[in-house]
Amino acid sequence: MKTVLSSLAFMALATVSHAEPFTLSSPDIKADSVIDKRFEFNGFGCSGENMSPALSWKGAPKEAKAFAVTVYDPDAPTGSGWWHWLAINIPADVQALAANAGAIGGANLPKGASHGRSDFGFAGWGGVCPPQGGKPHRYIFTVHALKAPLEVPADATAALTGYFMGMNTIAKASFTATYSRAAAK
């Protein structure tokens, strides 16, 4: 009997150890790399294309009922960082967002998904735009596996949307990339 139980315990551990890790990646922005200018905001002195990168994830928990994607700059000189993008209620059967899914208006998002309001004040991708001449800022791209779709008002702040994400996240995967702008001449 002891041998049978040991064998069962080993099989259970082997199954757990072979579970695919939850990961997030992008063909446009590699982890620990420098972000391309096309993903820079177009405004506030920045002149990029304000285009969101393509993203994909794998290994999400089977219990996930929806996903949310965020992009956050903890180095913004605000005292609380800067939310560049919140895409919420991405259906559970979706595992990727196409390039420019962050376009304002949500037309490029999967059916059922929507944008939360970024710190730029609008719902959609707000590209990278650190102050000129400063050290590189870190941009943290995260996909959240949610136990339920989020019920937030359309005009909710990024902080309020983040609160509901935090209360419903069962797993998350992230990568970080950097961006800086040269000093003005």
pLDDT over threshold 50, residue 127: yes
pLDDT the model gives residue 8:
40
Helix, strand, coil percent content, the chain, rounded in steps of 5:
15, 35, 50
Stretch (H or E) spanning 15: helix 2-17
| 89-116 pLDDT per residue, tens | 999 999 999 999 999 999 999 999 999 9
The mean pLDDT value for 171-185 works out to: 94
The contacts of residue 152 (CB under 8 Å, 6+ apart) are 88, 116, 160, 161, 164
Spatial distance between the Cα atoms of 65 and 22, rounded to a whole number of angstroms: 15
* pLDDT score, position 111: 97
Sorting pLDDT into bands at 50, 70 and 90, what band is 154?
Answer: confident
pLDDT at residue 7 greater than cutoff 50 = no
- What is the separation of C-alpha 10 from the centre of its chain, rounded to a whole number of angstroms? 36
Q: With bands split at pLDDT 50, 70 and 90, how would you rate the model's confidence at 20?
A: confident
113-133 average pLDDT score: 96
Please compute the mean of the pLDDT values over residues 112-128 and round it to a whole number.
Answer: 96
Delineate the domains of the chain, giving CATH numbers in brackets.
20-179 (3.90.280.10)
User: What is the distance between the alpha carbons of residues 168 and 151, in angstroms, rounded to a whole number?
Assistant: 11
- pLDDT band of 10, cuts 50, 70, 90: very low
Q: Which burial class, exposed, middle or buried, applies to 16 when counting CB atoms under 10 A from its CB (0-12, 13-18, 19+)?
A: exposed
